[in-house]
Amino acid sequence: MAQQLPAIPVDKDVRIGKLDNGLTYYIRHNDYPEHVANFYIAQKVGSINENEDQRGLAHLLEHMAFNGSDHFKDNSLQEYLQSIGVEYGRNLNAYTSTDKTVYYINDVPTKRITALDSCMLVLKDWSNGLTLDAKAIDQERDIVHNEYRMRITGTQKILETMFPSLYPGSKYGQRYPIGLMEVIDGCNPETLRAYYRKWYRPDNQGIIIVGDIDVDRTEAKIKELFGGIKVPANAAKVELEPVPDNEQGIFLVGKDKEQTMSMILAALKRDATPDELKGKSEYLLGNYLIDLLTNIINVRYKEETQKADCPFVMAQIENGSYLISRTKDALTLTIVPKEGQEQAALTAAIRELKRVHEFGVTATEFDRAKEEKLSQLEKDYNNREKLPNDRYCQEYVDNFIGNEPIPGIENLYTMMKQMSPMLPVEAVNAIAKGLIVEGDRNLVVLALMQEKDGQTYPAPDALKAATDKAWAEKVEAYVDNVRQEPLMAAAPKAGKIAKEEKNAALGFTKLTLSNGATVVLKKTDFNDNEIVMSAYAKGGFGAFGKADEPNLQMFAEALSYSGLGSFSKNELQKALSGKQCGIDFSMDEMRHGLKGKTTPKDLETFMQLTHLAFTNVKKDEQSVGNFLNLVEVSLKNISMNASVVFEDSIQSVTYGGNKLYRIPTVDDLKAVSYDRILEMARSAYGNAADFTFTFVGNFDEAVMRKYIEQYIASLPSTKKAKAQPFTDVRTFVNGEQSRNFTKAMENPQAQAAEIWRSANIDYTLKNFVLLEIAYRMYDMVNNREIREKLSAAYHAGAKGDFDDDGTKAYAIVTGIGMLNPDKAGEAVPYFQKDLQTIIDNPNQEDLNKVKEILLKQADVDAKDNRHWRTVLERFVRSGKDFESDYKATVQSVTAADVSNFLKNVVLSSGNHIKIVMMPEKK
């Protein structure tokens, strides 16, 4: 069959071109969402292209792109982009990996043509107009160093030490993108500039612009801006760095105190498909089959974990690059062993691979996997007119960097729909036999261990012995147990829609059903293949007593991991393959309910699941037991993670140690009673009249009403909502609170937070908007003063919370920073000082920028089903319309309003918390 396959077509709606100097561009008009566009520049170079004295400079350079260029001096790039509504971090960012460096500006408003031209100018500056001023470089060294300190995890630290052994004979072993801190701290600016000059050239660059733009004009502009750039004679070529095969197995054991759980990785290496062969259909088909294979194996692993004596709590296999290299691929197995059972876990996981190697997968597993995959493709295909800009941009980046196919969803779905039924199970089994092989060749096994007292560590030899043991065992073929019966044995007795009201302002219909349940319907055309749902009732944590705290912490998860009807969780997952129905239980301080999402095609199944979630949760001790095991393993060493400890301290101080707001301990987990949770659910979900269901999306009204009568109006009820007095479980501590503490750390870092909470205030749109504006302005000042001017932080900013109970609210403003411990003393006072600056002298320009950002975001949100679900929930619950006048309210806010709000509403309450965590002196 393979020989008759055509080449993969290229999506006809993208204009791809190449200038004489080698610059490649991708331009696509896309109307969804309207009035915004994304701008990308991708470089075919990254840390692998560094010289030894440049290790880490690809990444430092990425940072420097925001610190001065031909048309945007100093920090004016960020300031300018904010002024047109582009938010740093969210819409504007960059990333560096071994083989690529990508910069992007997302969601640029397109109504003003000057904004588009300026963004093209930004791309142009990034391509060859960076200033790379020595003083600015010095400032950025600290920030990158702080980033290293803050973000590097235990796993990364272990891998860092292992890379040379993981890549013997290859430069990949010495080119982890974060690089060497002595280079970051001490490199000559000229060494950085040399990297920039050598590699940032049009022949290594791809410009990608997707959105509500004029393609011809954009193309002309690219030619005008980039056409004149010359590639120097004798420019260095970007060569792919090979990764040699390993004849002997590589077995490594590493440990770190900040490794929060022990893990074992096993990689089966193979050569990556060369770029020039990726245009053939065989490549697409091969990937498709490997994808199905890994999905099937993962289902088997999940099933294994349900057995009480399984030595791992999680095992998962994935196909992709071998760690950080683009020339070698691998099937990579990730295993989380039960404590002390590392070897047994490795043997058990490899055993499943051997089973697949020997007997293949079954035809029923294969059919289910195909059905599921096609159903996912179909979901995108049905919504093909409304795919977001970002998705196209990612595809074009991959095409530019690694020649990945870009057939577009229309071609892809058509091809796969045609080919998939013709693929026999033997095709995937042949692939499995080739990829999963016995022996050491190209095998890499790593144990990433928690370092702690009393821990024992496997020796590398033991990893080899555990692998060999699995292959030497005799295994039996897998038996695929599937339940063939329908989800519901009989349809429930339908009820009726008893009452109907329309709301013109927000465009929804409110139904009251014969059993007393309320349903809110809003039909939209934002996504042709999406319907989102929520169901909630008053109650939440407040409906239960203190004794149930451990159960409340795990309530929603335990129910979501349970079965439904006569199906266990595992049987349910098998039965639902090929269907897009996600449904989860939810529980918070005020409310409990369900949240979910589906497609028009699978709506009936989704409604059945909803009905069963209310009426027939099936106890599944294996599934819930395994979930709790996994949580326990992840919690055991969590106190080694400084950020988690800091976050937990904030919660503890804010709520006076209230368990509901803290990370559960292993003891809390032990106190969880699954039986009690099921009992709580029966009382909480027993009366449909307590609930409001909200559906937003593209549904057929008549079909939706039929299902509502069948599956929701039929839910048991007393016909009357139960009186549920509001019990406030938020145990806020009032007044001034301060906590300074030190923590032993491998990587010294400081974290600080200052929190101001208002007294009870009116729950109004105006207060809501003022809080949003105030904290964003505060974020800008903190970033400017602490990160940029002081170079004291990897991150310094602010957060805001508008915490309401339906009638009253609290406005909470938090300044937060991850600081360089040497500069923390100098930096911390700024959190207070910066807030005072906004009160004394609010910056009008900052206010204008924040308004632009919020107004633009409002346009994006207006086309989002989830956003509307929140808007309607709020309105139906409390009568508050935060949508209709939102933009006008944002526009009406003055600098004096913000100053008064912070001074008279937020600060005047005297509720102020200050928390600083410092590293313990070694």
Task: Give the number of C-alpha atoms closer than 13 A to the C-alpha of residue 405, restricted to the C-beta side.
Answer: 22
Task: Give the number of C-alpha atoms closer than 13 A to the C-alpha of residue 77, restricted to the C-beta side.
Answer: 28
Residues 6+ apart with CB under 8 A from 26: 14, 15, 16, 206, 207, 208, 209, 210, 396, 399, 400
Among all chains, which residue has been given the structure tokens 């080119």? 175
Which residue is nearest to Zn ion, using beta carbons? Answer: 147
Quote the least distance from Cβ 140 to Zn ion, whole Å: 9
Q: Measuring CA to CA, which residue among 134, 143, 131 is closest to residue 73?
A: 131
Tokens of 499: 């009452």
- Cβ closer to Zn ion: 179 or 408? 179
Quote the least distance from Cβ 795 to Zn ion, whole Å: 11
The SS3 assignment for 583 reads: strand
Quote the least distance from Cβ 728 to Zn ion, whole Å: 42
The letter for the amino acid at 314 is M
Q: Measuring CA to CA, which residue among 917, 916, 912 is closest to residue 812?
A: 912
Quote the least distance from Cβ 166 to Zn ion, whole Å: 23
What is the 3 state secondary structure string of 517-554?
CEEEEEECCCCCCCEEEEEEEECHHHHCCHHHHHHHHH
- How far apart (Å, rounded) are the C-alpha atoms in residues 269 and 658? 49
- How far apart (Å, rounded) are the C-alpha atoms in residues 888 and 858? 11
- Cβ closer to Zn ion: 147 or 304? 147
- How far apart (Å, rounded) are the C-alpha atoms in residues 470 and 346? 8
Count of residues near Zn ion by CB under 5 A:
1
Determine contact, residues 195/57, Cβ cutoff 8 Å: yes
- Cβ closer to Zn ion: 147 or 668? 147
Quote the least distance from Cβ 661 to Zn ion, whole Å: 31
Stretch that binds Zn ion, among 139-147, 212-220, 222-230, 255-263 (CB under 5 A): 139-147
- Cβ closer to Zn ion: 147 or 852? 147
- Cβ closer to Zn ion: 147 or 378? 147
Stretch that binds Zn ion, among 102-110, 141-149, 390-398, 702-710 (CB under 5 A): 141-149
Determine contact, residues 660/541, Cβ cutoff 8 Å: yes
Stretch that binds Zn ion, among 31-39, 143-151, 288-296, 686-694 (CB under 5 A): 143-151
Quote the least distance from Cβ 104 to Zn ion, whole Å: 14
Quote the least distance from Cβ 263 to Zn ion, whole Å: 25
Interacting positions 96-135 with Zn ion (CB under 5 A): none
Q: Where are the beta strands (DSSP E) in 257-362?
A: 263-271, 312-322, 325-337
- How far apart (Å, rounded) are the C-alpha atoms in residues 57 and 50? 7
- How far apart (Å, rounded) are the C-alpha atoms in residues 168 and 71? 44
Query: Is the backbone of residue 655 left (phi > 0), alpha (psi -120 to 50) or beta?
Result: alpha
By rule CB under 5 A, what string of x and - marks binding of each residue 272-291 to Zn ion?
--------------------
Stretch that binds Zn ion, among 142-150, 517-525, 533-541, 769-777 (CB under 5 A): 142-150
- Cβ closer to Zn ion: 56 or 539? 56
- Cβ closer to Zn ion: 179 or 842? 179
Tokens of 476: 């039996």
Quote the least distance from Cβ 171 to Zn ion, whole Å: 21
Nearest-5° Cα angle at 94, 199 to 241: 40
- Cβ closer to Zn ion: 147 or 779? 147
Stretch that binds Zn ion, among 140-148, 239-247, 552-560, 737-745 (CB under 5 A): 140-148
- How far apart (Å, rounded) are the C-alpha atoms in residues 378 and 372? 10
Q: Measuring CA to CA, which residue among 768, 779, 777 is closest to residue 851?
A: 777
Quote the least distance from Cβ 126 to Zn ion, whole Å: 15
Count of positions (residues) in the chain: 922
Which DSSP helix (H) or strand (E) runs through 606?
Answer: helix 603-615
Interacting positions 686-725 with Zn ion (CB under 5 A): none
Quote the least distance from Cβ 63 to Zn ion, whole Å: 6
The letter for the amino acid at 636 is K
Quote the least distance from Cβ 466 to Zn ion, whole Å: 38
Quote the least distance from Cβ 95 to Zn ion, whole Å: 8
Quote the least distance from Cβ 59 to Zn ion, whole Å: 6
The letter for the amino acid at 834 is D
Interacting positions 144-173 with Zn ion (CB under 5 A): 147
- Cβ closer to Zn ion: 141 or 867? 141
- Cβ closer to Zn ion: 151 or 338? 151
Strand 101-109 with 92-96, pairing: antiparallel
- Cβ closer to Zn ion: 63 or 522? 63
- Cβ closer to Zn ion: 77 or 838? 77
By rule CB under 5 A, what string of x and - marks binding of each residue 40-59 to Zn ion?
--------------------
Residues 6+ apart with CB under 8 A from 678: 559, 562, 617, 619
- Cβ closer to Zn ion: 772 or 788? 788
By rule CB under 5 A, what string of x and - marks binding of each residue 449-478 to Zn ion?
------------------------------
Quote the least distance from Cβ 561 to Zn ion, whole Å: 37
- Cβ closer to Zn ion: 21 or 97? 97
- How far apart (Å, rounded) are the C-alpha atoms in residues 368 and 577? 6
- Write out the residues near Zn ion by the rule CB under 5 A: 147
